[in-house]
Copies of this chain bind each other. A is one copy, B any other.
């Protein structure tokens, strides 16, 4: 079901940077259906410590809608920054990606964003029909170490 693309490591690295850029821009503009579509159909998304992972496209959309009700009366522009992306290619073509993530939250009229949480993320990525997808994402929060 998963198409393995045998590019070079360099090609994979650039593809992952581009994939994450598009993915977070979808998330931060509230396009949750499109964000969920960057996961495989049976994808797993665990972003809140202590809570079970959301599973499947519908499950991820429901989780994001639910999570974001906290901003219903508190409009903010969030930005997810990913950095220091460490990739390991598995022999089956899947990619382990571990990286730092930081959330910046800007309120209307306030130039200085709220900074945090700082996170450590473990993704498993796969190529499907030549396109990268998250098979899973697990977000660890630094304040809970």
Interface residues of A (CB under 8 A from B): 8-11, 13-15, 17-18, 20-22, 24-25, 75, 77, 79-87, 98-100, 102, 104, 106-118, 141-145
A113 CB, nearest partner CB in chain B, Å: 5
A100: which B residues are within 8 A, CB to CB? 79, 81
Instruction: State the number of copies, please.
Output: 3
A35 CB, nearest partner CB in chain B, Å: 13
Q: Are A109 and B143 in contact (CB under 8 A)?
A: yes
CA distance A68 to B102 in the complex (A): 24
CA distance A83 to B104 in the complex (A): 13
Kindly identify which residue among B9, B75, B118 contacts A14, using a CB–CB cutoff of 8 Å.
Answer: B9
Q: Are B115 and A25 in contact (CB under 8 A)?
A: no
CA distance A114 to B102 in the complex (A): 12
In the complex, the chain B residue whose C-beta lies closest to that of A29 is B120
CA distance A77 to B144 in the complex (A): 9
CA distance A77 to B102 in the complex (A): 13
Q: Are A18 and B87 in contact (CB under 8 A)?
A: yes
CA distance A15 to B17 in the complex (A): 13
A14: which B residues are within 8 A, CB to CB? 9-10, 13-14
CA distance A100 to B22 in the complex (A): 11
A81-B100, A145-B77 given as contacts; is B111 within 8 A of A113 (CB)? no
